[in-house]
Homo-oligomer: A and B are copies of this chain.
Amino acid sequence: MSKHIKGVTISQVADAAGVARSSVSRAFTRPEMLSPETVNRIMAAADQLGYRPNHTARALSTGRYGNIALIVPDIANPFFPPMIRAAQMQADSANFCIFLGNTEENGEKEDQLIGRFTGQVEGLILASPRLSDERIWAHAEKLPLVLINRDIPGISSVLIDSSVGVAEAVTHLAKLHHRKMVYISGPPVSWSNRQRQEAFDKTALALGVETATVPTLRPDFESGRKAVEAMLATGATAGIAFDDLTAQGVLTGLAERGISVPADFSLIGCDDVLGSVTYPALTSISSQSSEAGQAAIALLLEMLQTSKHADLRHMIATHLVVRNTTREPHSAVTSG
């Protein structure tokens, strides 16, 4: 029916109310500057015409866009939706809108998306970025930037400190008398993966537990399933997977081989995004991705207000959530 609809402008309201454009503007932004009657008159006219301030025009003249871009590698990875959701809500409460970008785990696309957002966002949040430190620095020079799950000197970030949770997990398994454990690893470029691997190795070493590592291609269900063969070949009786998706793949791979969890093999995931949704309910390392999303926005907003490129760090603690996928190994039952 109707064609391109021209919005009602400040000028039309001004005419209708018999005032200058600037007064209309002030009626909306600083009403205390105007007499109450004038404000009322303007508001009445505005309501009547159905006036809505134009976000874009306002942004152009003030330089405050009221938008934030959030860029993630893969929306479909269950780690991210809670994070995005929390970020959204936090931004919302400060009257900011969120641009969402999905990079398909691809650094180039990440660059490209950032480019597309310039000139319409006040700040940028990069979650688990795949870009090089250099590129990230370059962007951080032009725009307030907060990283999630990436640690680069001089750039603010929200870090999920998996090391505690991983240590708890290894200790938990050791207490159950597992003598050999395997780490099913994630993307080598991932900061989280490196951190988890290190904590795994370190804790195991301290406890005198034997270790092995099985690499995977991507953090997803299929990779986990395919890793099962190599995992079993290590002779380990328990495993910790890079994330819950991978763990779920492992769970399925084990079931397909008739290997029962936790009776025959103990498994722990990371991120706790599937939680009790699997069966048996997956023991996992909780990492509150939603808190990360919320904190990242809060950090960014703070940087915007103080208008300086601070180098802040927000650490998020993790802890083990024990459910039903861990138990003593057979060897322990007989020997202990």
Contacts and interface: CB of A to CB of B under 8 A. Distances in A.
Nearest to A65: B56
Interface in A75-120: 75-76, 78, 80-82, 84-85, 88-89, 92, 95, 97-102, 104, 113, 115-120
Interface in A39-98: 52-60, 63, 65, 67, 74-76, 78, 80-82, 84-85, 88-89, 92, 95, 97-98
A225 B101 CA distance: 34
Contacts of A113: 92
Contacts of A85: 74-76, 102
How many copies make up the complex? 2
A67 B76 CA distance: 22
User: Interface majority SS on A: helix, strand, loop or mixed?
Assistant: mixed
A160 to B, nearest CB: 18
Interface residues of A, number: 61
Contact of A54 (B119, B142, B251): B119
Contacts of A84: 75, 100, 102
Interface stretch (A26-34, A192-200, A262-270, A271-279): A271-279
B3 A119 contact: no
B279 A4 contact: no
Contacts of A120: 55-56, 59, 67, 97, 120
A335 interface: no
A251 B5 CA distance: 50
Contacts of A75: 81, 84-85, 88
28 contacts: A1-B308, A2-B141, A4-B307, A5-B141, A5-B142, A7-B118, A52-B118, A52-B119, A53-B119, A55-B117, A55-B119, A56-B60, A59-B120, A60-B60, A75-B88, A76-B85, A78-B81, A85-B102, A88-B100, A88-B102, A95-B116, A97-B101, A97-B116, A98-B99, A99-B99, A248-B277, A252-B281, A278-B278
